[in-house]
C-alpha cells in the first residue's frame, strides 16, 4: 500500500518480477486484500507464486512515522515487517513512508549486535563507476562511533553486492589532513584509523564525484543535503543551456544537436533510477523505495532484495561487526 501509486504500481511491479524471474522466488503482497486482488486479476502469472496477506490500515506519506506506527497497528508496513521477523518471508520491500519503514524495521526486526544506528547508504555515480555515500539522511546527529558503523556497513555492502574486494573508505571532511574536520569527524577519524577497515583518510567534497573512494562516510545531515544538491544539478544545467540557446540561432542549433548527449549524461546523476535502498544494520532485509516508484522501480527493488538475501548481507554485516569490534 506504500507510495504515491499504490497498490497499482506495487502490484504491477511485483507481477513483472514474477514473470521475469521464472520461479526464483514468490511474493507476498501485504495490504487491503480486496484492492490488491482487483489489481492482481489484471495480470497472468503462475498462481502459486503470489499470495496476499490482509492488512486493514495504511500509513500514508504524510503521517508522522512514530505516531502512525502506534495508532495504526494493522498497517501494511507493520504486518509486512512482522511477517519477515516471523520467518514467513526472507525480505521486506516498501515504497511507503520512509520514516515509518525505518522505524518499523528497526523496532520489529531489531538491530544487529553492535549496531547503534541502522543506516541507509546510496550508490552515487562518479567519474569511475559508483561509490556509496553513507549515511544518506537517516541519522542526523551522529556520534563518532556511528560514523564508524556506517563505514563498516557501507564497506560490507560494497564488497558483497558490488563485488569490490577491500573497498576503500574515506571520511568526508574539509581537508585531507587528519587534523581537519569538526569535533565528531576528528574523533571518527581516530576510530577508523585504529580499526582494520581499509580507511584511506579524509576525503573532501571534490573527491566524491571523482570516485576517489568506494565508501564516503558522513552524517545524515550532510548526506541528505549533498544528495539533494546533486539531484538539482540537471535542472541547473537545463536552465543554463536554455539561456545559452536563446542567445543566438547558432547556440540554439548547438543545444538541439547536443540534446541527446546531454540527456544521456545528465541521466547518470539520477541515482533514484536504480530502485530502492536497503536499511543496513537491522536483523533482516528491508528495502526502502521512493514514494513515486514506478512498476519498474518496484520490480528492481524486489531484485535488490533477492540479491541481498542471496549474498547473506545481514549475516556478513553481523560478522564484520563482531570482527572489527574485537
> Cell numbers at residue 225, please?
543535503
CB nearer to a copy of itself: give 232 or 323: 232
Q: Could you give the CA distance from residue 296 to residue 301 in angstroms, rounded to a whole number?
A: 9
- Cβ distance 19 to 45 under 8 Å? yes
CB of residue 64 to a copy of itself, shortest distance in Å: 9
> Cell numbers at residue 78, please?
507493520
CB nearer to a copy of itself: give 137 or 275: 137
CB of residue 259 to a copy of itself, shortest distance in Å: 9
CB nearer to a copy of itself: give 104 or 172: 172
Residues forming contacts to a copy of itself in the complex (CB under 8 A) are: 126-127, 137, 140-141, 172-174, 181-183, 185, 204-210, 218-222, 224-233, 235-237, 239-241, 244-245, 251, 254-255, 257-258, 260-262, 264-265, 268
Beta-bridge mates of residue 171: 202, 217
CB of residue 33 to a copy of itself, shortest distance in Å: 34
CB of residue 315 to a copy of itself, shortest distance in Å: 32
CB nearer to a copy of itself: give 20 or 236: 236
Of how many residues is the chain composed?
A: 326
CB nearer to a copy of itself: give 180 or 316: 180
CB of residue 136 to a copy of itself, shortest distance in Å: 11
CB of residue 183 to a copy of itself, shortest distance in Å: 5
Helix (H) or strand (E) holding 320: helix 313-325
CB nearer to a copy of itself: give 33 or 207: 207
Half-sphere exposure of residue 86, counting CA atoms within 13 Å on the CB side? 7
Non-local CB neighbours of 131 within 8 Å, separated by 6+ positions:
123, 124, 208, 211, 213, 214, 215, 216
The helix/strand/coil state of 201 is strand
CB nearer to a copy of itself: give 124 or 191: 124
Nearest to 286 by CA among 270, 297, 302, 310: 302
CB nearer to a copy of itself: give 253 or 315: 253
CB of residue 139 to a copy of itself, shortest distance in Å: 10
SS3 content of the chain, % helix, strand, coil (to 5): 50, 15, 35
CB of residue 180 to a copy of itself, shortest distance in Å: 9
Helix (H) or strand (E) holding 119: strand 119-125
Q: Phi and psi of 111, rounded to 5°?
A: -90, 155
Per-position DSSP letters for 239-267, written without gaps between them: HHHHHHHTT-HHHHHHHHHHHHHHHHHHH
Amino acid at each position: 500500500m506504500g507510495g504515491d501509486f499504490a497498490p497499482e504500481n506495487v502490484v504491477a511491479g511485483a507481477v513483472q518480477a514474477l514473470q521475469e524471474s521464472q520461479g526464483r522466488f514468490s511474493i507476498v503482497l501485504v495490504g487491503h486484500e480486496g484492492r490488491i486482488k482487483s489489481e492482481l486479476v489484471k495480470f497472468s502469472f503462475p498462481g502459486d507464486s503470489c499470495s496476499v496477506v490482509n492488512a486493514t490500515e495504511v500509513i500514508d506519506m504524510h503521517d508522522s512515522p512514530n505516531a502512525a506506527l502506534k495508532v495504526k497497528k494493522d498497517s501494511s508496513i507493520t504486518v509486512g515487517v512482522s511477517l519477515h521477523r516471523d520467518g514467513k518471508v526472507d525480505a521486506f520491500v516498501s515504497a511507503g513512508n520512509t520514516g515509518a519503514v525505518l522505524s518499523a524495521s528497526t523496532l520489529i526486526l531489531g538491530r544487529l549486535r553492535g549496531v547503534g544506528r541502522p543506516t541507509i547508504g546510496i550508490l552515487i555515480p562518479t567519474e569511475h563507476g559508483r561509490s556509496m555515500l553513507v549515511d544518506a539522511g537517516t541519522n542526523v546527529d551522529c556520534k563518532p562511533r556511528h560514523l564508524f558503523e556506517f563505514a563498516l556497513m557501507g564497506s560490507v555492502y560494497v564488497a558483497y553486492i558490488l563485488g569490490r574486494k577491500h573497498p576503500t573508505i574515506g571520511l568526508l571532511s574539509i581537508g585531507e589532513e587528519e587534523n581537519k574536520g569538526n569535533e565528531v569527524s576528528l574523533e571518527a577519524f581516530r576510530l577508523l584509523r585504529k580499526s582494520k577497515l581499509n580507511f584511506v583518510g579524509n576525503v573532501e567534497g571534490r573527491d566524491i564525484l571523482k570516485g576517489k573512494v568506494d565508501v564516503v562516510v558522513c552524517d545524515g545531515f550532510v548526506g541528505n543535503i549533498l544528495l539533494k544538491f546533486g539531484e538539482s544539478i540537471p535542472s541547473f544545467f537545463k536552465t543554463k543551456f536554455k539561456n545559452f540557446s536563446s542567445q543566438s540561432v547558432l547556440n540554439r542549433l548547438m543545444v538541439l544537436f547536443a540534446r541527446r548527449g546531454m540527456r544521456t549524461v545528465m541521466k547518470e546523476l539520477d541515482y533514484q533510477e536504480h530502485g530502492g535502498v536497503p536499511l543496513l544494520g537491522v536483523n533482516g532485509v528491508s528495502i526502502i523505495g521512493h514514494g513515486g516508484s514506478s512498476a519498474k522501480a518496484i520490480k528492481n527493488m524486489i531484485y535488490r532484495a533477492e540479491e541481498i538475501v542471496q549474498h547473506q548481507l545481514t549475516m556478513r554485516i553481523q560478522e564484520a561487526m563482531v570482527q572489527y569490534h574485537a
